[in-house]
Amino acid sequence: MAVIILQGCENTSEKNITQEQKLEQEHPNITKLKGQSTEFTPEIIKLNENVYVAVGYDGSNTSMVIGEDGVVIIDALRALGAAEIVANKFREITSKPVKAVIYTHGHDDHTGGTSAFIGDSKNVKIIARAGFKEELQGKSPVEPILKKRNGRQFGRDLPAKDIINRGVAPGSTSKDRVGKGYIEPNITLNDSLFVNLAGIDFQLFAANGETNDELFVWIPSEESLFTGDNYYKSFPNLYAIRGSQYRDVKSWGESIQKMSTFPVEHIIPGHTRPVSGKTIAYKNLKNYSTAILSVYQQTIDALNKGYTLQQTVESVKLADSLRNQPNLQEFYGSVSWGVRSIFLHYVGWFDGNPTNLYPLSSAKEAKHIVELAGGKEKVLEHLNNTVKNGDYQWGLQLADYLLQTDYKITKITEIKIQLLRSIAAQQINAPARNYYLSYAYELEKNNVK
Ligand SMILES: [Zn+2]
């Protein structure tokens, strides 16, 4: 299946480019997304004499803080096999026993390899938020569909040639005993916990954001901040297209604001490489909280003006000064998805326009639109033009109308597959790209010839 990479032709010189040349050109967004993969090169990074972070060995980061008589591990990867590799590297640095493990939140990619780090250590404190892991997918009544969508978002079944990365994680991660090293917390905190571990003072703060069991860790003596998944090098995933409960966007922004009040020398995120230097650390935290709270407030203001969902999405924009920041590129999260999520959280599914109280069935709407457009053949002709012109989103919407009319289903499905691949080839957002491509493969597999 050919993949058309060039976006809409805007001028005559671009129109002269042949189809073959188009196929060879890589969209600048894909080049940027590929560049993000350097965040996941496996490395044990030494931040100072006591703080080490392992990046790129699995989907997330794990860190070791060396104290007087032992070490503290912050987050524990997903696969036990990957955790064993890192634990061995940590032991080459120090043989001190593990005194405590801190989970920044309950997502599986941060909790599955704990036993590898603990090894022979005794009486290890395992610390997390109260309510740890309560909101996980496995406990949801809609778990079967969440699982399917999760697979698409992360591109789990994509062939190697289609894999770039997952936005804030490598394109594929260890499958070696996933989750088999998980150990439950034995100490939980509500709002905060100030505790001395291995001779070092730790400050833990509850910080709702990506999850409602999220916390961040501040170590004053090391000037080190462990953000969990409330911060990483990408616009934050305020809504996950795999399907998730509401992520508290306001608290998320405020938690980053609070982080920025500390004299941070090292930001150690849950994903992507650490950032060192007081000026850049402060700048990054500041622009992150400003971006999140700005998206939140603009959405609230639009809602109060009576805007519909679509009008709200179109009205909310990040200022250029934020949009251009390297740590706010939409590799993982997307501004418009966040806006939709906030809108639905506050007012539910009804967008305020009475037209949408009892809409036509999608089949009836499709029938009318196709008739208005001059019939199925006419729409198909137009659909083919959207492919040629690079008008992929409109093409997808048109294809969906035709697919509801029982007209040349196989042919229209083939065009839809082509459109999905073409639109994927323009995405900077890894979950969107993975979803388009995964869905295209599913359609291809099921398309009756
Ligand atoms: Zn994570």
CA of 274 from ligand 1 middle (Å) equals 14
CA of 294 from ligand 1 middle (Å) equals 24
Residue 10 has pLDDT above 90, yes or no: no
For residues 219 and 260, give the distance between their C-alpha atoms in angstroms, rounded to a whole number: 14
CA of 68 from ligand 1 middle (Å) equals 29
pLDDT (0 to 100) of residue 17? 55
CA of 397 from ligand 1 middle (Å) equals 33
Residue 448 has pLDDT above 80, yes or no: no
CA of 16 from ligand 1 middle (Å) equals 45
Task: Confirm if 224 and 214 have CB atoms less than 8 A apart.
Answer: no
Mean pLDDT of 14-27: 62
pTM value surpassing 0.75: yes
> For the chain, how many helices (H) and strands (E)?
16, 13
pLDDT (0 to 100) of residue 135? 75
CA of 399 from ligand 1 middle (Å) equals 36
For residues 439 and 205, give the distance between their C-alpha atoms in angstroms, rounded to a whole number: 40
CA of 50 from ligand 1 middle (Å) equals 23
pLDDT digits 0-9 by tens, 34-80: 999 999 999 999 999 999 999 999 999 999 999 999 999 999 999 99
Q: Under CATH, to which class is 1-39+360-449 assigned?
A: mainly alpha
CA of 229 from ligand 1 middle (Å) equals 6
CA of 104 from ligand 1 middle (Å) equals 9
Helix (H) or strand (E) holding 115: helix 114-118
Other C-beta atoms closer than 10 Å to the C-beta of 65 total 28
Q: Would you call 406 exposed, middle or buried from its count of C-beta atoms within 10 A (0-12, 13-18, 19+)? A: exposed
CA of 232 from ligand 1 middle (Å) equals 9
CA of 22 from ligand 1 middle (Å) equals 36
For residues 282 and 267, give the distance between their C-alpha atoms in angstroms, rounded to a whole number: 9
Token representation of residue 181: 């090293």
CA of 60 from ligand 1 middle (Å) equals 6
Token representation of residue 389: 């012109």
For residues 233 and 150, give the distance between their C-alpha atoms in angstroms, rounded to a whole number: 21
Helix, strand, or coil here: 243?
coil
Residue 377 has pLDDT above 60, yes or no: yes
Helix, strand, or coil here: 291?
helix
CA of 72 from ligand 1 middle (Å) equals 19
For residues 198 and 70, give the distance between their C-alpha atoms in angstroms, rounded to a whole number: 5
pLDDT (0 to 100) of residue 6? 41
CA of 266 from ligand 1 middle (Å) equals 19
CA of 271 from ligand 1 middle (Å) equals 6
For residues 76 and 70, give the distance between their C-alpha atoms in angstroms, rounded to a whole number: 17
Mean pLDDT of 110-126: 97
Task: Confirm if 5 and 426 have CB atoms less than 8 A apart.
Answer: yes
Mean pLDDT score of the chain, rounded to an integer? Answer: 93
CA geometry: angle at 197 spanning 195 and 200, to 5°? 90
Other C-beta atoms closer than 10 Å to the C-beta of 447 total 15
CA of 75 from ligand 1 middle (Å) equals 10
CA of 77 from ligand 1 middle (Å) equals 9
Mean pLDDT of 312-334: 97
Residue 260 has pLDDT above 50, yes or no: yes
CA of 290 from ligand 1 middle (Å) equals 22
Helix (H) or strand (E) holding 215: strand 215-219
SS3 of the chain: helix, strand, coil, percent, to 5: 45, 15, 40
Q: What is the DSSP letter of 404?
A: T
Same topology for domains 1-39+360-449 and 41-288, yes or no?
no
CA of 312 from ligand 1 middle (Å) equals 29
pLDDT (0 to 100) of residue 354? 95
Mean pLDDT of 135-147: 83
What are the residues whose beta carbon lies below 5 Å from ligand 1 (ion)?
60, 107, 109, 229, 270
The alpha carbon of 221 is separated from its chain's Cα centroid by a whole number of angstroms, namely 32
CA of 278 from ligand 1 middle (Å) equals 24
The full set of domain ranges for the chain reads 1-39+360-449, 41-288
For residues 262 and 217, give the distance between their C-alpha atoms in angstroms, rounded to a whole number: 11
CA of 168 from ligand 1 middle (Å) equals 8
CA of 281 from ligand 1 middle (Å) equals 20
CA of 419 from ligand 1 middle (Å) equals 31
CA of 110 from ligand 1 middle (Å) equals 6
CA of 230 from ligand 1 middle (Å) equals 9
Token representation of residue 263: 């004299």
* Phi (first) and psi of residue 99, to 5 degrees: -95, -30
CA of 333 from ligand 1 middle (Å) equals 13
Among the four given CATH numbers 3.60.15.30, 1.10.287.110, 3.10.105.10, 3.40.228.10, the one describing domain 41-288: 3.60.15.30
Token representation of residue 334: 């997307």
pLDDT (0 to 100) of residue 140? 85
Residue 449 has pLDDT above 70, yes or no: no
Helix (H) or strand (E) holding 216: strand 215-219
Give residue 1's pLDDT band: very low, low, confident or very high (50, 70, 90).
Answer: very low
| Beta bridge partners of residue 73, listed in sequence order | 64, 101
CA of 199 from ligand 1 middle (Å) equals 28
CA of 111 from ligand 1 middle (Å) equals 10
Token representation of residue 85: 């590799």
Residue 93 has pLDDT above 80, yes or no: yes
pLDDT (0 to 100) of residue 2? 40
Residue 4 has pLDDT above 70, yes or no: no
Mean pLDDT of 186-196: 97
For residues 194 and 205, give the distance between their C-alpha atoms in angstroms, rounded to a whole number: 9
